[in-house]
Amino acid sequence: MVIGFYLRVCEIHLVIRMEYLFDRWGEVERALAPGALLLLDYDGTLTPIVERPELAILSPDMKELLKSMSRHYTLGVISGRSLADVKGLVGIEGLYYAGNHGFEISGPRVELVKPEAERVRPILVKLCEELREKLNNIKGAIVEDKGSTVSVHYRLVAEEEFEHLKNIFEEAVGPHIDSGVVKVTHGKKVFEVRPNVEWDKGKAVLWISGIVDSKGELKPIYVGDDRTDEDAFLALKEKGITILVSEGPIESNAKYFVKNVDEVKTFFEGLINLQTQK
Ligand SMILES: [Mg+2]
């Protein structure tokens, strides 16, 4: 009983600790004085969540904001999408891009493909085929082969079909989890199968930060909306500015929240203003 109560108190404590970013603008502004390394998730952060992944197109005004920001700050986009996909969707030269949650990274003077991802590739190809075949009868299920990882999207699947989909997914992936080859993470209406190695958005963010800013002079900022972004929030907890896109404060490793993609834009406008007013 005592432990249960304590945990509940901790949860509440965590919820209360998260601050609305614009209530704390002064402290953010002060922290950014030395310059910033801005690392951004894509889906749900730069574009609203949509029904099918291919519909998440960057709006012209968001693209303009990113371009303006890239003149003043070092910018990276860190996505669960494949590297080629996220690069194509953002379409701005000179940025750092990390695809497949950081298994592939590319940017000025940097190229990284984690070798573990290449080793697991043959298994993922087979798994993809199997999942496509078995989920074929479930309307709305999308199996996406992203090279180093595989996603099963179920946003368009009827609620009463979800258990069926989950069972098929678990049956297909289970043996590869048991043999230690892959692991599964759970995002917004998506299951993701990835190589079972200690590498995630948090490790990727620290890796990029080490390359771009080896002396640690820039303030890292991370903005994301999903569970996989929690790794990045955690990695930057002490030294960075971490911002969750969420309608309200929830339990998260992020220190601040903004409510939606429009407020992400407002934040970017604020960052640009800080530079142009200098
Ligand atoms: Mg996202």
**What is the tens place of the pLDDT at every residue in 230-241?**
999 999 999 999
Quick one: pLDDT at residue 184?
Answer: 96
Q: Which pLDDT band holds residue 245 (cuts at 50, 70, 90)?
A: very high
Q: Which pLDDT band holds residue 58 (cuts at 50, 70, 90)?
A: very high
Distance CA 199, CA 202 (A): 8
Q: State yes or no: is 41 an active-site residue.
A: yes
* DSSP-derived secondary structure for 97-138: EEEGGGTEEEETTEEEE-HHHHHHHHHHHHHHHHHHHHHTTS
Q: Which pLDDT band holds residue 276 (cuts at 50, 70, 90)?
A: confident
State yes or no: pLDDT of 4 exceeds 70: no
Of the ranges 104-118, 133-147, 259-273, which one carries the lowest mean pLDDT score? 104-118
Distance CA 264, CA 245 (A): 8
Question: Are the CB atoms for 62 and 46 separated by under 8 Å?
Answer: yes
Mean pLDDT of the residues in the chain: 91
Which residues have CB less than 5 Å away from ligand 1 (the ion)?
A: 41, 43-44, 225-226
Alpha helices, H only, the chain: 2-17, 25-31, 60-72, 83-90, 115-135, 162-178, 201-212, 229-235, 261-276
Q: Measured in angstroms, how far is the CA atom of residue 171 from the centroid of ligand 1?
A: 27
**What is the tens place of the pLDDT at every residue in 181-193?**
999 999 889 999 9
Q: Measured in angstroms, how far is the CA atom of residue 49 from the centroid of ligand 1?
A: 8
Q: Of 41, 200, 226, 229, which one is the catalytic site residue?
A: 41
Q: Measured in angstroms, how far is the CA atom of residue 230 from the centroid of ligand 1?
A: 11
**Structure-token pair, residue 49:** 């969540």
Which amino acid is residue 217, in one-letter code? Answer: E
Quick one: pLDDT at residue 7?
Answer: 39
Question: Nearest to residue 149, comparing CAs of 76, 186, 99?
Answer: 99
Quick one: pLDDT at residue 33?
Answer: 83
Q: Measured in angstroms, how far is the CA atom of residue 1 from the centroid of ligand 1?
A: 37
Q: Which domains does the chain have, with CATH numbers?
A: 2-113+199-276 (3.40.50.1000), 115-195 (3.30.70.1020)
pLDDT mean over 234-252: 95
pTM of the model: 0.88
pLDDT mean over 89-99: 96
Q: Measured in angstroms, how far is the CA atom of residue 47 from the centroid of ligand 1?
A: 9
State yes or no: pLDDT of 68 exceeds 90: yes
Quick one: pLDDT at residue 54?
Answer: 87
Q: Measured in angstroms, how far is the CA atom of residue 160 from the centroid of ligand 1?
A: 25
Q: Which pLDDT band holds residue 17 (cuts at 50, 70, 90)?
A: confident
Q: Measured in angstroms, how far is the CA atom of residue 226 from the centroid of ligand 1?
A: 5
